[in-house]
Structures are given as C-alpha cells and as structure tokens.
Amino acid sequence: MSANAADDDLTAAVEFLKFFLSVEAQTLLADPANAAHIPAALGVEVTDALMAQAVEAFLGGTIFPVIPEMGAYWDPMNNAAKKVVEEGADPATTLAEAFGAVTAKVQEIRGQ
C-alpha cells in the first residue's frame, strides 16, 4: 500500500481497505477473545463492557491525551478493572492499588 500504487496494486489496496473497515472485519477485530480492538466502524456490536464504554466516549468526541505518561495507566487500570469485574475485588481497594502503581510509573517516566 503506497501513495504511488497504480493499476492492480491500487485496486488491491482499495479493496483491502474496504474490507478492513467493513462491519465483518471490524467485528472480528473487536472480539474480546481475539484482538479486542475498539471498532473503527459504526454498526459493530461490542460485547465487552469496558470496550462499550470506550466506544461511547469516542462517539461523544472525548479526546485522548497524547502524553508519555498515559502509558503508565494501561496495565494498572486494565488489571484493576479485571480484578473487580472478574474476581469481585473491592473497587476502592483495587483502585487505590492501581493509583499507587500509576503514580510510581509516572514518576519513573518523569525521572523523579
């Protein structure tokens, strides 16, 4: 796929993009048991509760910060959410633990 593609290469690239953005492909990619990507197309049923909340936020135009510190949140918050939802852990305690992990990682990123 290139801006300089022509003829059959261009046709193949366009057809691939059409498929990639189809409801069929986006449904496969949104499957929580597989890729678990938030769909980029409307009309895709999202079965995972956390992914559904993200879809709702994106549809509302909620911006996503693009600072290095955001990387500190992914694992602690994902682990906390799973611990509460799947294991029935206490939300307040689990969030406090995640907060500690995020704070430590942010300090590490900032060299503090």
pLDDT in tens, 8-51: 999 999 999 999 999 999 999 999 888 889 998 889 999 998 88
The tally of CA atoms less than 13 A away on the side-chain side of residue 58 is 11
Q: What is the pLDDT of residues 51-92, one digit of tens each?
A: 899 898 888 887 777 888 988 999 999 999 999 989 999 999
* Long-range contact pairs involving 61-68 (C-beta distance under 8 Å, separation at least 24): 68/109
Domains contained in the chain, number: 2
Q: Are 3 and 49 members of one domain?
A: yes
Q: Are 70 and 47 members of one domain?
A: no
Task: Name the residue with tokens 């500190």.
Answer: 72
Q: Are 34 and 59 members of one domain?
A: yes
d(C-alpha 26, C-alpha 5), whole Å = 25
Q: Are 4 and 37 members of one domain?
A: yes
Global confidence as pTM: 0.52
Q: Are 57 and 79 members of one domain?
A: no
Q: Are 1 and 56 members of one domain?
A: yes
Full domain range(s) for residue 93: 65-112
Q: Residue 1: pLDDT above 90? A: no
| Average pLDDT score over residue span 90-99 | 95
